[in-house]
Structure 1
């Protein structure tokens, strides 16, 4: 029972009477709302104020399809091929089941094999005469995919096998039993059904004595179309480790889940609202990307299953080689899905970057974010009113801390009705945003998929009248519980519904919104507090009769997509949208950013954020981050500082906290922590030019910003299982500090080149592990020898004010006194870069000369971009003492000479290093061709 009234605290200047009245009214509203929330929380334990309870979620042995499929024995599959031909440039094969006498007729399966440019093989299997068409996930594969399909002209038949010869590789179909092998020369790369686990439950009529229901706790799934599961094994040959299949909190290299003496749950892909998830668990979280990479010293391969139903994956423990036989490296995996289509892709590599390019050529490259979105974001559930917003905004200025975006959670709405504002707490939203915009900053408001069932709410009235809600199994609008209480959920699978939803973002519809207001999609797994496993019933119905079980893992993706379309449609500003989503699926990278959900203020959660984010990058999702400080709990000053220091290198950098946590704006812990966090923020802002260049690389070729060490050093076996450090692009090596009062960290330096400490300039040789000393001032971060990193070192209140600031080029020389780096610049907000309005420069240092040359696309666009920015400082690291006699440089393009300083180089304020050379104010334009000779 809630009986206590609000506590009105007075700051040094005192709260105004108006603020006290608003606080009292807010408490009264909160008291009414809490009564609703209490009912919800009592209904679903573990979805409110308690940590995740594993008993609220299914284990494999509690799910019929998983239990039966996982217990299949090797070699149990009796499917074989009895017919192969080539039709329309594809291989067509008929599969029949040797144990089913009726399979020769209506029960057979049809396999289609097709090939695409860049080393991609596609295998689809369908029922020859289906009772009901299986759901194939739309809007994930890129539209131009078919243009890349290769035309297969013939198959070679030999010794009970059919072989397709392609450029550089071949695909072999064994007939009996059915097996598929992808080979390169005489080397097998990847196989399907080599261990005989393929099964395909064909739809059939229900027998009189049969019960198809699947019951878990108090919920019953009617399974109206019966068992429809699909399973098979995929083997990666020559592989040491496999990676991928996010999202979960676990190591980068996936641990075995079955075999030998291992007893573990399989890796689960089923988007769920996991409250306070564990830091080490194979259990699936908020997103699902069914793609896996396998890597060894010699090659990298990959596999993708386009299926949005619940999926489980076992990584099988390596079997011991029989005596007298060679111990061949291979990783076997077992994939199981409840329903959906068999639509699979094999990627032949041969390198890690090749596999990522192959996968993103299917599902899309990463969205190009606005420049502000790559800077720091400040969020809390919830900034309580407009006065609080201005106080937080002013606090950053008062303490000389930059930030770009202030976020508002659900409490800013009028009774949890999205696209509205609380009339008491946020009476002047437009004016509030205009004051934030005056400082070059933006705002974000939350918009979730649950729609409050309130007849006075125009969104609900329209959606209900137009039949836009997901239906329950009886045909009525589905009614579930979430933050507003009784709620319905829009059928985002339907393009018409997505278009209608997008219209709600218009300024006339979303009253009080302005061009600087962007969007956050939470709870879009979808989260349903009183549903089975805190989500929607599987037998709910979407458009065209699609069951929710078939589309579940993609629901959040479609909601994310609709929100992005809404920002695109809302005005004439040509702005790129920014929409953050908690739930995701394959293809999310071309829609927007994601974060890793409800983590905890705990050192283990800080540590696991690295493999979680690196794994997302391996599956195409490059724009991702973890809540800095942890969403739950109260971090002590040391943990919070370490998280800000590590988060400065995340692709998405946001501080966020739960409603019940203590306030933790970055200046509240006093010195020395305020200064330390300020420096971490400054690190982020200085690196924005480098980060933005990497985002452009992701936009062009799909490569992630955060990379495992083996991506850049694929032959270094020592890197294969490392996941406490990562590469940011090719040129920055980052290792977090993950324990309290740490005084040292073991850092592995990959490669044969040197690595330079980004703060002191001290260098370390590659190919070794070094115990480096750490202090509270920083975490270990190093620049690769042979690289040039662009920075902006003038500190402003937001990235907007840095637009015309000059650049610093940090040149880390390798042993041959050479280095190279890139810089990409555009207007930071519009789509004009797609029409040629950008600058892309290549910086090269060789033979004592630094040059800048244009590497923008040769194709002429219809737009141009110019900038007045110049280079104000050049820092050369890695010079030997005998080379430090140079005191001047020649600007060859102008014929002028400028002085050069020998250390201290002032790499960062207060940190000096002597074996470097600093050129100040060469004043060459960043957009021009030029060369500078060190004399």
Structure 2
């Protein structure tokens, strides 16, 4: 963000004032449009139907698990190498690179958890113009058409996806720079004059003569090297050489000589491009689909819009000051995953490229009447790198989520405290302020797990330090929090103050760990501390050093209950182009920043999480919040929606933004409760707490210039409403934690759109003001000012839903008008599910350990239900390293509720017991009998409400770790 939390100090005051003087709104002029982005403009200028690429079918080679063949651009004769894989788990991979590039092109490392296993390919058909490949045992086929090149992915007779069907493949090959003729003449004359002077002065020339001749030779050799076997097959000279005068003109859209191809100016910044234009683009056509989702992060509705009339969606991690809503502009994070859904199937497209990327979406049905088979066309355009695309073939939404998780990893299981309530502000002033805020939660009986400190806590914004006057005894402060079973999070940003008296800066500089300029010096930019260096987190050695800084002896004043917030890690550079780093900056391995920009924040969070793991000897789970992210960031912690505003529309858009992130694997997502900028009134604040309590990451946060807004500062009535919302969150912590465990194991989003659970219900496809938590709870937060009612859609043919507040049963599908008061949070439990709760109010999650449970059993129309509960110590990796966990399965069928082990390999000692069972939709039994696994039967007391059909069983008293049955007779 341009003004992120905790952003004041003498060094940054001028910059902060600059960003705050304008009315709080994004300055679009700070950020490029597609027309201002040279490669986007060139890619988009290529029109459909003019593809110059031909597949050389005779070059097809089958390996043990892949196929390769060459593509030739028939206009410039540059060959490409196409690689194809049929991956296990119903996926296909397509990779395109230059056959013989002048230098290697960047391939994204560290995002895939492993190279995905592939299946044997086989040729099943061939003719003069095409070849057909069988992709393993899944029944899918790839039809490769030679001219123009096209890939069709089929299952049986059904066409699932076409690649390059619109002919928009554009691969800007690396090439030597062609100097203008006038420059060559001038250079040749200059060289001749140097020779003449040397005859008279007998001096050795300072530079080698005949520069123009060298340029011509370099160009000729480069063209020959780029030609290779593919050029020979396309009709190039037999020796592989290509004379410059015989070379074909540049292909349409290639623009090798276009202004901006070798350097580009935006505002006051010039981006040098020493390797020239290198963008890649490819189109995918999806017949039968008109609803697409994903490619976060954008402040956008869940269903993505078509982009033909405006800019494409942009994926380029940026610090955007108070972002606009319903806008394709880039924000803080980027995940190049798009999902397409219809009533028949779900597909995913994962574009593994970390450079600046634009995504065009077109539809043949947008704004038109019916009668046409719908089709969505998706065009990906990236500034550099290669084409590396994964087609996730579903066919169900859950299958696509699992396929993506198999590639990039699942959501890390957070420590239990992280699912509680977090209180933050830019900034809590000092240790006394922290103590007063923490005390306020106890005085007002509001649970809270974490107090946060922004950048003002550090000594002059030198991270890994504490302000000696405001926070002189940080360890004692942390011990006081720990005594209340609470935690703290401090901010550690990746810009390091350039200060010879600062140990962190000196060590990074001495080890050569800073990002470099194109000239080889340490890159410096302007951020909160003033002049700052930027550690090169792409360097494994740098990441290892950074991780070591979280050791207790290195991070002085830290303790076991101190965790970390990585902000500004796009990276944010106030003095840089688009408020970020110059693209020609140089990283480890010689790669330019342009190649890997979207990976920077991913690596910062990775290194920070590893540091927290290391400090405990590898036993404790980390908690790290990151603003910037990429595919795979879910493995390292949580994300949030950045610097939102205290406006009703920002509250509403937070739902769609978190749903989009969840679809892209980032389940641990939330928004700043109350809005970061501006001051919410009491109604908006209360509604935001009610909504935030039902989002995965639950944190209140605010800008330095806003009024204080701790939950008890808006009057007793509003304090009571906020207290109730926060307590609802804590009562559901067992349910949230179990949902996160399932997400960690299987890759399913915790907060998910309705269509994931009801994939054939077309009415759900565009809904993003209500959603599911796991598969059991449907939530419709109130997001309209002054609302007296909301429209709630209950999906699922033949399903039943129970209002959690009134316990009234509703049959689906139907739309309900639900009257609301200020205490209302419309939540419905799905029939056929079991939801565990802990309903005793405590000050923090850790205080709830061992508390008794209540099971809410919501019966389906068939009189059945099932659910589960995951329990462990809530903080360590022992659940996976030593099988120290309980995973219990609850089933109700034929009038009996049964508890058994869902995973018998686990064992965990807990005193927690079953206090109550509430069965929704039940008739009145004559008797209720408890059958423990060992011991005699006992009768249970019960109460039945005939009006609501709710049966309450009191104090079964069995341990949650035991097997038992409860019989309704």
CA-to-aligned-CA distance 1:330-368 (integer Å, 9 cap, x gap): 111111111112111001110111111111100011101
1:901 positional shift = 3.4
Q: Distance in 1 between matches of 2:925 and 2:109?
A: 64
Question: Where does the alignment leave 5 or more consecutive residues of structure 2 unmatched?
Answer: 1-5, 181-256
Q: Distance in 2 between matches of 1:393 and 1:318?
A: 56
Match of 2:13 among 13, 35, 38: 38
Say whether the 8 Å CA contact 2:363–2:375 is kept in structure 1: no
Match of 2:814 among 743, 751, 768: 768
1:405 is the counterpart of 2:450:
yes
Say whether the 8 Å CA contact 1:89–1:153 is kept in structure 2: no
Q: 1:414 to 1:47 in 2, by over 3 A?
A: farther
Matches within 5 A, 1:790-829: 790-829=836-875
CA RMSD of aligned residues (A): 1.9
1:269 is the counterpart of 2:318:
no
1:124 is the counterpart of 2:165:
no
With structure 2 as the length reference, what TM-score do the two structures score?
Answer: 0.89
Say whether the 8 Å CA contact 2:662–2:749 is kept in structure 1: yes
Match of 2:897 among 850, 860, 868: 850
Q: Distance in 2 between matches of 1:41 and 1:922?
A: 60
Matches within 5 A, 1:272-351: 272-318=318-364, 327-351=372-396
Q: Distance in 1 between matches of 2:125 and 2:910?
A: 59
1:96 is the counterpart of 2:72:
yes
Q: Distance in 2 between matches of 1:40 and 1:361?
A: 43
Match in the other structure for 1:22? none
Matches within 5 A, 1:678-827: 678-751=723-796, 752-827=798-873
1:240 positional shift = 2.3
Match in the other structure for 2:3? none
Say whether the 8 Å CA contact 1:40–1:485 is kept in structure 2: no
CA-to-aligned-CA distance 1:564-595 (integer Å, 9 cap, x gap): 11111113371101000000000001111111
1:904 positional shift = 5.9
SS of the residue 1:61 aligns to: coil
Question: Where does the alignment leave 5 or more consecutive residues of structure 1 unmatched?
Answer: 1-29, 906-912
1:48 positional shift = 9.2
Q: Distance in 2 between matches of 1:729 and 1:391?
A: 37
Q: Distance in 2 between matches of 1:521 and 1:901?
A: 51
Match of 1:59 among 18, 21, 33: 33
Q: 1:320 to 1:313 in 2, by over 3 A?
A: closer
1:115 positional shift = 1.7
Match of 1:838 among 885, 888, 904: 885
Q: Distance in 2 between matches of 1:772 and 1:671?
A: 26
Matches within 5 A, 1:511-910: 511-572=556-617, 574-751=619-796, 752-834=798-880, 835-856=882-903, 860=905, 864-879=907-922, 883-884=923-924, 886=926, 888-891=928-931, 893=933, 894-903=935-944
Q: Distance in 1 between matches of 2:792 and 2:917?
A: 28
Say whether the 8 Å CA contact 1:46–1:53 is kept in structure 2: no
1:46 positional shift = 6.8
1:71 positional shift = 2.2
Matches within 5 A, 1:224-243: 224-243=274-293
CA-to-aligned-CA distance 1:67-107 (integer Å, 9 cap, x gap): 1211221112110111212134211110001222xx2xxx2
CA-to-aligned-CA distance 1:816-863 (integer Å, 9 cap, x gap): 22111111111111111113111111101111110001111x5x57xx
1:193 positional shift = 0.5
Tell which deviates more after alignment, 313-322 or 913-922: 313-322
SS of the residue 2:322 aligns to: coil
Q: Distance in 2 between matches of 1:329 and 1:829?
A: 48
Match of 2:441 among 368, 393, 396: 396
Say whether the 8 Å CA contact 1:318–1:331 is kept in structure 2: yes
Match in the other structure for 1:910? none
Q: Distance in 2 between matches of 1:570 and 1:820?
A: 40
SS of the residue 2:665 aligns to: coil
Match of 1:115 among 76, 82, 86: 86
1:35 positional shift = 3.7
Q: Distance in 1 between matches of 2:832 and 2:839?
A: 21
Q: Distance in 2 between matches of 1:319 and 1:725?
A: 26
Q: Distance in 1 between matches of 2:486 and 2:692?
A: 20
SS of the residue 1:584 aligns to: coil
SS of the residue 1:62 aligns to: coil
1:50 positional shift = 4.5
Q: Distance in 1 between matches of 2:599 and 2:365?
A: 35
1:155 positional shift = 5.6
Q: Distance in 2 between matches of 1:142 and 1:46?
A: 42
Q: Distance in 1 between matches of 2:23 and 2:490?
A: 23
SS of the residue 1:823 aligns to: strand
SS of the residue 1:585 aligns to: coil
1:798 positional shift = 0.4
Say whether the 8 Å CA contact 2:365–2:372 is kept in structure 1: no
Matches within 5 A, 1:412-491: 412-491=457-536
1:602 positional shift = 0.6
Q: Distance in 2 between matches of 1:686 and 1:386?
A: 30
Q: Distance in 1 between matches of 2:383 and 2:706?
A: 39
Say whether the 8 Å CA contact 2:634–2:667 is kept in structure 1: yes
Q: Distance in 2 between matches of 1:796 and 1:355?
A: 39
SS of the residue 2:749 aligns to: coil
Match in the other structure for 1:17? none
SS of the residue 1:60 aligns to: coil
Say whether the 8 Å CA contact 2:123–2:131 is kept in structure 1: no
Q: 1:754 to 1:842 in 2, by over 3 A?
A: same
Say whether the 8 Å CA contact 2:940–2:956 is kept in structure 1: no
Q: Distance in 1 between matches of 2:909 and 2:120?
A: 44
1:86 is the counterpart of 2:62:
yes
CA-to-aligned-CA distance 1:789-833 (integer Å, 9 cap, x gap): 000001100011101001000011112221111111111111111
SS of the residue 1:822 aligns to: strand
**Alignment length (residue pairs):** 878
SS of the residue 2:363 aligns to: coil
1:888 positional shift = 3.9
Say whether the 8 Å CA contact 1:321–1:327 is kept in structure 2: no
Say whether the 8 Å CA contact 1:194–1:233 is kept in structure 2: yes
SS of the residue 2:517 aligns to: coil
Say whether the 8 Å CA contact 1:503–1:509 is kept in structure 2: yes
Q: Distance in 2 between matches of 1:668 and 1:598?
A: 22
Match in the other structure for 2:272? 222
SS of the residue 1:206 aligns to: coil
Q: Distance in 2 between matches of 1:233 and 1:851?
A: 52
1:898 positional shift = 3.8
1:47 positional shift = 10
Say whether the 8 Å CA contact 2:878–2:884 is kept in structure 1: yes
CA-to-aligned-CA distance 1:27-56 (integer Å, 9 cap, x gap): xxx99x6442233347x6579985311111
